[in-house]
Amino acid sequence: MTSTSHSKNDTLFARAQLTTPGGVNSPVRAFRSVGGTPRFITRAEGPYFWDADGKRYIDYIGSWGPAIVGHAHPDVVKAVQDAAARGLSFGAPTEGEIDMAEAICRIVPSVEQVRLVSSGTEATMSALRLARGATGRDTIIKFEGCYHGHADSLLVKAGSGLLTFGNPTSAGVPEDFAKHTLVLDYNKPEQLEEVFRSKGDTIACVIVEPVAGNMNLLRATPEFLQTMRRLCTQYGAILIFDEVMSGFRVALGGAQALYDIQPDLTALGKVIGGGLPVAAFGGRADIMQHMAPIGGVYQAGTLSGNPVAVAAGMATLKIIEQPGFYEALSTHTSKLVAGLSAEAKAAGVDFCGDAIGGMFGLYFAPELPVDYATMMKCDKTRFNTFFHAMLDEGVYLAPSAFEAGFVSAQHDDAIIEATMAAARKAFATLA
């Protein structure tokens, strides 16, 4: 079955579009960036998942990060089954939530207090409100190319000038919301210096993906993060690391462990739910004390800390905390990127890649992008051709040239080898 011929995926996609906008419950799944028909997944196991035609793929999305131990890991499935048999949700505190909070505080030392929520969007939205409530300031700084979920204040693109406030990137976001958001360039510390010099005492927070994954993978320079840390301290602004994607992914302790920089607040998600809806925000206790019910910043959630989801997350954390987990994960991610680069070179295709822990970026460009502008110069058309050629060969990459990829503990040498065999054919279509 090639990605162009009719399949049950087409039938399901046509049916889905009758009742759900775009036929999907999250836009990136619709394949609009790469074209073609999204695959409707019926089941997943280890590094694989299967579509509605029964075709098997090596999965390099892993649910956009959560499936770091591999799909349907028996320990995680059993933990979910056992928890579900005790009831699905109580709307009352449980010991499991304490276990999860203690695990997060142990693994991410900058987090002294933490609140569990159900999505990364909730985590960053709540962290923003907390930063504004704790500082009494309204202005926030984010960076072009970073995605922090779909809260109104964060769906904002750069204004006309460095010191001009942002413009909405989405219909439905009032100008009045966007006007409190300054959007600067990623990896340009000099812009932070200028903005803080001019507006420092009005800035509630800076929110950043310390390893960016939503414009494809892009590493922050140490100077970029060190500058924002210094300026936030100097001006009393709150530094928020959005580690929803990088947390427990680029390293056990996330990007803040790799860069050895302590944010004031951290947003987490994905891996800590193991595939079920768990996310979190937390950080300095003196800031978290502003949260209701003890403080004036309100935030709530019917399913926050859900016992079944927390059980999946705790089972996942138990696996990733085992000695050697990240060494093996990083080895396989590096082998993947090195292998793809070698295959591209053999085919004479301009291509490079980057790998950090269990996360990788693939770029149809002669050299690694260093900022948003150079990232946007990567050849999207060639990526899209490569994407579909790999899909035909049974390898499922992120359906966008501007998304990162994810490796699980189940992506072993044999899986990497099988991926190389597929890539050899896929790059040949580009030569």
Q: Strands, E, within 278-431: which ranges?
A: 279-283, 352-356, 359-363, 395-396, 405-406
Contact with ligand KE4 (CB under 6 A) among 133, 210, 269, 282: 269
State yes or no: residue 273 binds ligand KE4 (CB under 6 A): no
Return the SS3 of 151.
Answer: coil
Catalytic residue among 51, 185, 242, 371: 242
Return the SS3 of 405.
Answer: strand
State yes or no: residue 143 binds ligand KE4 (CB under 6 A): no
Q: Which stretch binds ligand KE4 (CB under 6 A): 40-48, 144-152, 293-301, 328-336?
A: 144-152
Nearer to ligand KE4, 97 or 403 (CB): 403
Nearer to ligand KE4, 27 or 236 (CB): 27
Contact 65, 407 (CB under 8 A): no
Residue 110 and residue 262: Cα distance in Å, rounded?
A: 6
Residue 11 and residue 25: Cα distance in Å, rounded?
A: 17
Catalytic residue among 55, 142, 270, 335: 270
Catalytic residue among 48, 57, 60, 147: 147
Q: Which residues contact 225 (CB under 8 A, 6 or more apart)?
A: 208, 210, 259, 261
State yes or no: residue 38 binds ligand KE4 (CB under 6 A): no
State yes or no: residue 64 binds ligand KE4 (CB under 6 A): yes
Q: Cβ of residue 163: shortest distance to ligand KE4, in angstroms?
A: 26
Q: Cβ of residue 114: shortest distance to ligand KE4, in angstroms?
A: 16
Residue 275 and residue 62: Cα distance in Å, rounded?
A: 9
Contact with ligand KE4 (CB under 6 A) among 137, 142, 148, 382: 148
Residue 160 and residue 342: Cα distance in Å, rounded?
A: 42
Nearer to ligand KE4, 353 or 430 (CB): 353
Q: Which stretch binds ligand KE4 (CB under 6 A): 31-39, 142-150, 233-241, 325-333?
A: 142-150
Give whole-number Cα distances, 246 to 255, 256, 396, in Å.
6, 9, 21
Residue 199 and residue 75: Cα distance in Å, rounded?
A: 51
Residue 159 and residue 144: Cα distance in Å, rounded?
A: 10
x-or-dash string of contact with ligand KE4, 14-33, rule CB under 6 A? ------------x-x-----
**Considering only residues 224-243, where is the footprint of ligand KE4 by CB under 6 A?**
242
200 burial level (CB within 10 Å; 0-12, 13-18, 19+): middle
Q: Strands, E, within 4-160: which ranges?
A: 41-45, 48-51, 56-59, 113-117, 139-143, 156-157
x-or-dash string of contact with ligand KE4, 196-225, rule CB under 6 A? -------------x---xx-----------
Catalytic, 371? Answer no
State yes or no: residue 244 binds ligand KE4 (CB under 6 A): yes
Contact with ligand KE4 (CB under 6 A) among 3, 9, 124, 408: 124
Residues in the site for ligand KE4, rule: CB under 6 A? Answer: 26, 28, 64, 119-121, 124, 147-149, 209, 213-214, 242, 244-245, 269, 279, 403
Catalytic residue IDs: 147, 242, 270
